[in-house]
Structure 1
Amino acid sequence: MGLFILTVFVIIFIENYFDQNYTLRYHQTIRNQEQKQKLEFVLKEQLLNIQLLFNSYSSVRHPQQLANTHVEIREKINNCINLLNILDQGGRFQYRNRVNLTSADEIIEIISYERDQYTGTIPEVRELYAPIQDLQSLSARIAATMRGYLEADAAQAPAILETANFYLKQAESVFDRIYETERKIAYDIQSNVVSVNNTSINVLNRYNRLKYFGLILFSIVTGLVTYLIIVQISRIILVRKKAEANNAKLLMAVEQSPVAIMITNTRGITEYVNHSFVNKTGYTKKEIIGSRPYFFSNNGIYDFSEIVMATIQVGNKWSGEIETKDKAGKTYWEKVQISPVLNDENTISNFIIIREDITEKRLLTQSLNESIENLKNITDNLPVGVMLVDANHKIIEVNHTASKIMGFNSVEETINFVNSRDYHQLFEVMHQNSYNDFNSGVEVIALEERLTIKENNISRIILKNIIPIKNNNQTVKLEAFMDITAQKEIQQREAEANKAKSEFLANMSHEIRTPMNGIVGAAELLVRTRLTQEQYNILSVISRSCDNLITIVNDILDFSKIEARKMTIETNPFDIRKSIDYLMDQISFKSNEKRLNVMASVEDNVPVIVKGDEGRLLQVLMNLLGNAVKFTDIGEVVLRVDTESLKGKEVILHFSIEDTGIGIPPGKIEKIFESFTQADGSTTRQYGGTGLGTSISKMLVELMGGKIWVESPNPAVKDNEEFPGSVFHFTLPFLIEKGGKQEDIYRNRFAGLSVALLDNHPLGQLLLKKMLQTWGVEVHVADNHKILIELLKDNPDLDLIIADSHIEEVNKSDFVSGLRALHPDIRLILLMPENHSISAITHRGFNRIVYKPVKHSSLFSTIYDLFNPGKNGELSPAIADADEDDAEEERKKVLLVEDNLINQKIAEKMLSRLKYDVIIARNGQEAVDILEKDATSADLILMDIQMPVMNGLDATRAIRARNIFIPIIAMTANVLKGDREICIEAGMNDYIGKPVKIDLLEKMLNQWINKPLLKK
């Protein structure tokens, strides 16, 4: 009760205190702020009036009205300045206000404002002084201007009025600034009023809360005391229940624990065991509780107290692994942990024993240890050295093989030695590269190093792979290496043997080609003299035998290079059709000699320009075409080129060589590509050859990324057991040259041309027709002379006849005259083998001759020449006039540098036959001496390579060093790949291999003899 009375008294005292000290003060502050707000209203009103007066300037028409307006503006501006002073410093303002708009009566209101410490000053008030004073200045200017306007005549009035308007616009800008600042002042005053009101309300609310708080304080205190008593009682009950629940949870957790748990008293008597203990041991709780725990081992029974008492009685924990038995006698391993339980007095009240079955873990650990030991044994016995090296190039681990390679007897000795030396001095890197492991993606560094340990007399070449691995959370290098010193020595011996082999082959080739050059040259010179038929036949045998021998030498050289893996494949752009034409040219002599039809067909889908090894492609085609011609006595040989697949810029071309020859027996097809093997041993005696051609072709095709196969009999030859024929196929990948997909220059070039084709060979007729149609030609086919005559009668617009010489009527003397009788203006082209006599048919009136095998470019340029005379500088050969001008030109001089007397004589005869003057030098030094005396003594130099005193390469370098740039052509028996490049690098211009053929020599001389001196 006393507390309640005290509370009421305190409330009354606080209420009186705050009423006197705070409430009155807040009321005064609110009134003061309201007065301040009134001042702001008056200020705004004065400003609006001033603006209205400014606007009235434009409508003033009398001087008195102008003066009144200016005076009124000045008064109101003074009022504004007074208002600003009161707002800033405080004071009183007497405000006159009309009762209403229609009344002249005024009410005088005094507004009193004291500067308030609570809200402070408003900075924007002082900012208004300057623009308001600007208004006073502008008013004076406008008044003066308008006075001049009223007094001015009509001519001056507009200009003065424009000046007044200019000042009015300035006034508008000033008013905008004033109103913007005034709005800030109004906002600050309004905010202060709201803030003071809110503060006052909050204070009054606090007073009321305090008053009512005192009234209920006693009730609250009384209720609180009662509540605390009840809560304390409830808390005690709740703590007890929680303890019981926790004990139940703990007991449940212990009971359901997967490990066996036992609790004993200080004397070792069991008081509790959990369910896992019972399950594991096989004993019931009744059998265990009250007894002393024991553990079994192979040596007998050990009492609990004897094992652990000495440790746990002093408060320490004991743990160990024990082999024990369950009730059924089954042995198992346990990890036992015994801990003392301390009571509140810090003395031991119980012991808790935790027993965990670790039998499986021990087995796994044992297995892991055995695996580690096995891995260590494997690592130690690997045939390669293995090291773990840290980031500082210090060895962490090393196997026995590595120790042996380094010449040490133990791992410890190896680690101590290597870690005490500079790692990089012991392992000197000779070669290094890296690659990403396909499976793991880890970068593997592959090294070839020289291992040098002088203390052990060790100097070995090792091959090492390094990969990064993790070891104890650190990145280390696993280095595996093997001693390859013996392999390196073997490689060195093999390299020396290969070098000796290459030198032997080069020397053999040179020694064979040197005398062969004399034989071939002499035979060619004799052929060009007057001979009997018997002499001509004997020389043909000599030439053919020489060609066969050179082919055999070339095959052996190529086979040796491929076998030694020294054959390289080049990639250069070339025109596939020009290559096929060249091939037809090369094979024509043999095919015409045997009167075989050799044809080539390149499909339209084959790109114009491809990138690959043209030389090796031609070598394969020449081998296969040569074999086809060799083993075919009757019929035809056809080369076909087609596109097998095209993906982007990659194209696979399919080449096939079909023949109607002797074919290949079924049992011999698999052996046809084996080295030194032919389909039948008897063919070697009948046809000759080494059996290397197809083997080399297969190797080259596979080197270029293609595949090759053969089928026999030829599907196109049916039911011909004597000549079943065969078809050799191969595919090769090429790149389409950038810009190489240019439009075929031949396509539709002869659109509108009408041609009659006289040919009774079905396949030849088909291929020629297809070729002509590609060029846009309208083709009419005739199998015989009678059909041709009918075509001429039915088609008077025919432009051209192409006739094959193997048709009997074509060779008759009246063939051409009969055609011209029907069609006087028609043009005629004859297709014939090159070795037929031209003179026998020149009088028959053919316009052009195209030699067989028919080449794509030759037939095209011949037709073009016929219908566009003089427009093409690269036309096919026409029949030369018998009276061709053979006027002699000034003979050119050739310096022949050759040490072999026979080759000198042969070359001299050839050059003389070709109408060249010859200067002979027996070695390189003589050639240099001749040119030093007179650099213009020769127009061209033919330079042998292997010569005494000074060889051809050194002689060329010496000549070029003297700034003599006469064309130099190597004429040598060195024809291995790379020899040409060596000659060009030395300063020569071209290269011709021995044995030298006169037609090739003539072509080479014509290419270079008329060129101006070459200057670098």
Structure 2
Amino acid sequence: MNRGISKVNLFSRYNIAVFVLFVALLLIASAIAFYRYHFELEQQLTNEIVELGEQANIISNSLERSQQTLQGLQQFAEYSLTHPDDLFASAPLLVQEDDSFYLKVSQRGGVRQKKLRGNITGRGKVSEFSTDMWREITMANALTPAFVTGANNNPDATWFYYISLSRFINIYPWISRNAWRYSDSMLNESYLWQVRQDNLDGKRFVWSQPYHDTAGKGVKASIGTGVFFNQTFKGALVIDVDLASLQRKLPDVNSELHGYVLLNEQGSALVHKSLGEAELKINDKWQDIVPEALKSLSQIQLRNFADNLIYRDWLIQKYQLDINGWSLIKYQPYNDFNANLKNRFIFSILMFVVGLAAFLALVYVMTRKTFIKPASEFISHIEHCAEGDPGKIKPTIEWLPWFQLVENIFGQNRSLMQQLKEQNAALDSRVAEKTQALIERSEQHHRAYVLLRSVINGIPEFIIFNDSQNKLTGCNKSFEQYIGETEANMQGKEVTKLLPVPIQQMLLKFNDLPEEQTSLGYQQTIETSGDTFEVFCTRFYNESGSSLGSIVILRDVSVQFAVQSALQNAKEQAEQANKAKSQFLANMSHEIRTPINAIQGMMALMAKTSLSAFQQQYLANAQGASAALLHLIDELLDLSKIEAGKLRLNFGSAKLDGIVDRVLQLNTLNAYKKGLSLEVDIDAQVPELVNIDEMRLTQVLTNLVNNAIKFTHQGSVRLTINSTAQDDNNAILKFAVADSGIGIAKEKQALLFDAFNQADESMTREYGGSGLGLSISQQIVQLFGGEIKVNSSPDTGSEFSFVIPVRQVEKQIQNRVENITIVTLGCEFSKSLEASVSAYHWHYQAAESIAALEQLNISGDVVLLVDGDYLTNNDLSISSVEKVLNDIVLIGICQPIMTTISEKIVNQLPQLVAPYLLFDIPLYRFTLSKINQHLLLAATKETVSDTPQIANSKSEEKTEKPSPLAGSLKDVSVLLVEDNLVNQMVAQELLFSMGAQVIIAENGAVAIEQLTKNDVDVVLMDIQMPVMDGLTASKKIREQQLYADLPIIAMTAHARAEDKKASFDAGMNLHVAKPVSAEVLSASILKMLKQATVN
């Protein structure tokens, strides 16, 4: 033990310790106070925000009631318009007053009846109202009870009304028409059209700016939504909310510098409250209401801060309403906010410092006398006891027991302290374990109870717990709401008697059943008056297996049953409509294809006769138009295929130039009549032969070009085909149709590709059309692997384009005439056509006049192309033009497709020395192919059947042309079963030209009779015939073993897939759709005869 420590050092250390303790406590207290101050400051800010949120929720709940009421009114209105018969609402009685009308009401009704009644006023003649108008008025009248209910449930709402674009309004509460009635100026208000536009943009509810009520009832704000029928805006449902009522919901303030402001999304002050009554105005802004120091706060700053903002020693707090984005703002001086808290903490710190100093001073004085000196002696005594000399210091009488105690226990102290520590540690461990186990068990039980209760209350079904005497022991919130009483009030009561009688009877039946029959529960569907419930009952037991009572679960399935019934009815109606549509399409296809078959057959027979060049050209155009008409018929039938997902592409080798030629044949005449310039631009790099569905591509381009001509009044229509990428086997082609027509607005372009829809409903009246073409074209292009895109704006024209991949067909070696120069007079080639001329290794020169033509320096053979209109307008003869140039091998007369050449030019043609051809305008790459074909034929002097245009003044003979299929069916006996006389004649002539022997039967019954009289190799069977149709006749033929292998070919105007299946099911071997060409007819018969020979 160190004895060198003097009493002075001991007291000095004691003094230092006391001072250090004072300073340490002071610092700790200051730190704690500082932390506590900021903590409570944040807590106070949070509490203020929470209180502000509660005030905002009061307003939000009021606005939400208005919104929910409006939502219910909208759903009821649109359902009433869509299903008017479901609600059994009758049309109201209207009274005509000049050009206005109003609702006829009973004069005996008192004030109470007027409170339950709305008033309908409008403009128009009641006697001229359409069905849709009466339906809308009936709906508006049916809204009145809903208006009454909404007004009772929402005291903040003052006016309910439905305003229609059909020039009428229904308003509640009742107001005499003499005081207020409908006027057409209401339809010009921007708020009505804002409701319509916002609804179309996806915003369902629209709040208005504050305004003064025309009835003099203060400042209002309106919430509105649109009513749509068949996607058409019919009118708006509007509820006026009293802003003064919202102002009364704000708490009172006790200072002129404190206040509340409710701002809408546009920054207008809807409601504000400060000390005293504040008058509401419709044009108030933030700067008009707040104190001077806050007026410099901008709308952007107000909008951007979250909850709290300290601005120029002011505290501004904001809470945004979720329902419509309004903001409730509270402002107050920051010193007012934290004054009490700051003063309290300053006072606490001062009192702590004074008290601590006084306490330490008192302790210092008392301990010095009563503790320091005795303690010093006591320490010395302990030192002496440790050294074994305890009697050196005589203590005072107060300290004597302690000195003796130290002497007695000093030796035992070490062992006793160790035992005490061990016992304390063991006891603490046991207490901690039991306390923790108890806490965990209590928390587990509480958590399980809360979770179970939350689940039960969250279930929408009605859940009831009964004891063994059918007395209620518990239920969920849904059942409380259904009965209208709390669970506590229903405890111990037999509440099942409050349920509908059928459910009571079912529960009584369950109680009477033995437990072994209900071990897995008992379930039954019960129908009550107007509702349907699924009821499930089961018993619950204690741990010993004794029944404690029953659980009953009621589920309202009325809506599900109604929906299921409605779906079944809709399914049956849809099946009937689809069946009727299919039958209509089948009949339409048959009725149209039958006369087309006759037309095409007659034209095929006429083509075999000797015709002039003009007659051959006209006949070729007629044949092309007839084939295109078939494409249009198929287009009408394509919609049903698209709807059924059955539209398929049939790829094959096709000439792109030939496809464009067919498109022009259908559209050039319309462009010519309207004075439009129709241009074709095919890039020289575009492959001529591709693998594609020729009919579908023709269909798409025809529709796009036809639309361009239809919607263009002056200017031009241009068809462009470019190759965007290409290799030896594949190419990516871009097709574009551009016009200088009326154009299409951006917002209407998305509607173009909807079936039965156009960019504007008025277009159907002005331009015609069903709205099917672009929809079907888009489907076809998507099957090709592309998509039609639109680039247009009003009054600047439109461009429809699509890009598709195609596979190139392996090119055969094509002979081309060499050393040819093409000279044009009165017309010019496009850049792409000039590039195509270069690809042919030919030369091109253009002349604007005869004088320019004479100046040309040309070598080699010349092909001269002359515009027919140029000759007529300049009074020139073809022969005079021919004399200007030497070595002319071909003269081409150019004119628009399907137009008549002038008689003057026709009379000049026999005078020409060189051969001549007719070329269709516009000129494009297909023109070069026709020139090359003619020159090759002229060089080899061979006759080619597919070039009816070739003619000159010296080659017209009066002999028939030999058929390329002559003799292909020699000695074949054909039974032709056809009821149409014209079709009989066409088919008979075609078969005769191929050398066949023909037997004719006008119906199925005659065909069966003819089979017994004649040896027949093949039967051509029509389907739709009188007496006996083709399907029945084929079945009867197959019933006879003798004719089991007789080839039967269906040759009919029924062209659908189901028609083909019906033919095969009836026993036919092949199905050919009318019209039938000679080539198809011959190939089909030879194919069946070959199969019959093999069999």
TM-score range with shorter-chain normalisation? 0.3 to 0.5
TM-score w.r.t. the length of structure 1 is: 0.43
Structure 2 length-normalised TM: 0.41
Larger Rg: 1
